[in-house]
Amino acid sequence: MSVSQTISLLRFPLIVAVVFIHFNVVENELTIQGRPCFVGVAAWVWYAVEMVSEVVARLSVPLFYVVSGYLFFRSADSFSCHEYIAKLRRRFRSLFIPYVLWNLMAVAWLTFHILLMRLLDAGGDGGVEFRFSLMRLLNTLSYSNATNGFVVYLDQVGTHALSVFPADVPLWFVRDLMIVVLLSPLVRWLILKARVWYVVAVGVVWYVCQAWTTIQVVHGADIPLFNTSAFQVFTYTVAALFFFSLGAWLSLRRIDFMSFLTGRRVALVAIYVAIAVLDLATKTHPLNPCIHNLGIVVGIAAVWAVAARVGQPTTRLTQRIGISAGAVFFIFALHNIVMSDIARVVYTLLPWADHSLLTFLFYILVPLITILLCLVAYRILKTILPSVCNVLTGARVYN
């Protein structure tokens, strides 16, 4: 099975994983009708949700970066200034324009919510003001928080709010991908000169920074340097650089990783399962990030090996699961904007009685319904307004 077929096979499962990351009902606060939900859930629900959202699904974003790096240099036997500029022009259409438009739509949707709450006098705006300026626009599109963007939460003014994500939170991936694309000539030069040692060096920096950042944020370690927006942003960017560089190295060095991984898939899966279980068992331990990061690296290899092997007997499975790149990007950009509203609707329809099974069912249903509705919206938009759909999805290109 070719690399392109494997990527097509992985595309949809990876975006499903991303959606489940953003609906961790045992960690993310979900408030419905003025009260928090899912406080004190059963132990088995906590473990199940954490295994899916915080262990296995966390492989998705690094894998997307690896794919991006691989595809960026797939046809780059040479890399002249003209070719670099041509690639930047294509990425401007496929990344930058959709990035700006989706963030503006996220702000518009939030603004609509706030104004609706005020109109209904429901007291749901939490003390919010709208403040407009060029700098606040740039913050909203790049590194916004509760006080520095268009929407200002008054109860957060004067507090230490980290500026890490854009208005449409998942698009931090696109923001950092654009940064590493700009650095792609340097990445290529370092790979050709330093070979695998460059990738190893960036990987070590990612491993250490990611571990320290998680210890700081999750476990409350008092390390002032790591409790800053600048370091948080650096951690996300270095992760993008590492996994993009890993994919670029595989592409530029023409590594036959498909054969290598497929022949070792049983061992890779066994090792990853062991690390994943250990990761889950140590979630509350300060050193858990070290285990988790190791699982990311091994898990990427295991997932790729399994996907390559699954698709080898026939291409039908690839064709069925391989939803178009445009549809995947549409789900990626839209799901976080609407999922909270979908969750509230589903919550009101379920016969709640503090039942753990219903909590888990809720956790499974909301992301799946969100994905389905996003696909329906994409198909309708693609049919009725194909040019608009192409702009919003960047008319996905890979070279």
- Say if residues 281 and 105 touch (Cβ distance below 8 Å): no
In the block, tokens 């990611």 appear at 210
> In the beta sheet, which residues pair with residue 32?
35
**Residue 265 domain-assigned?**
yes
Q: What is the pLDDT along the chain (399 residues), one digit of tens a residue?
A: 678 888 888 999 999 999 999 998 777 766 666 666 666 678 888 899 999 999 999 999 999 999 999 999 987 667 888 889 999 999 999 999 999 999 999 988 888 877 777 777 655 555 777 778 788 888 888 887 767 777 777 655 555 556 788 989 999 999 999 999 999 999 999 999 999 999 999 999 999 888 877 666 555 555 555 566 677 888 899 999 999 999 999 999 888 888 888 888 999 999 999 999 999 999 888 888 899 999 999 999 999 999 887 765 545 555 555 578 899 999 999 999 999 899 989 988 877 656 778 888 889 999 999 999 999 999 999 999 999 999 999 975 444
**How many domains are contained in the chain?**
1
Do the domain assignments include residue 270?
yes
Phi, psi of 31 (to 5 degrees): -110, 125
Within 13 Å of residue 320, how many CA atoms lie on the same side as its CB? 6
CA angle, corner 337, sides to 319 and 72, nearest 5?
50
In a domain, 320, yes or no: yes
Residues 6+ apart with CB under 8 A from 57: 17, 18, 20, 21
Backbone φ and ψ for 125, nearest 5 degrees, come out as -90, -10
Is the residue at 398 inside a domain? no
pTM of this prediction?
0.90
Distance CA 204, CA 248 (A): 17
User: What's the sign of the alpha-carbon dihedral 305, 306, 310, 316?
Assistant: negative
For the chain, how many residues are written? 399
In a domain, 7, yes or no: yes
Say if 399 falls within a structural domain: no
- Give the structural domain span for 8: 3-393
CA dist 317 and 182 (Å) reads 35
Distance CA(83)–CA(166), nearest Å, equals: 30
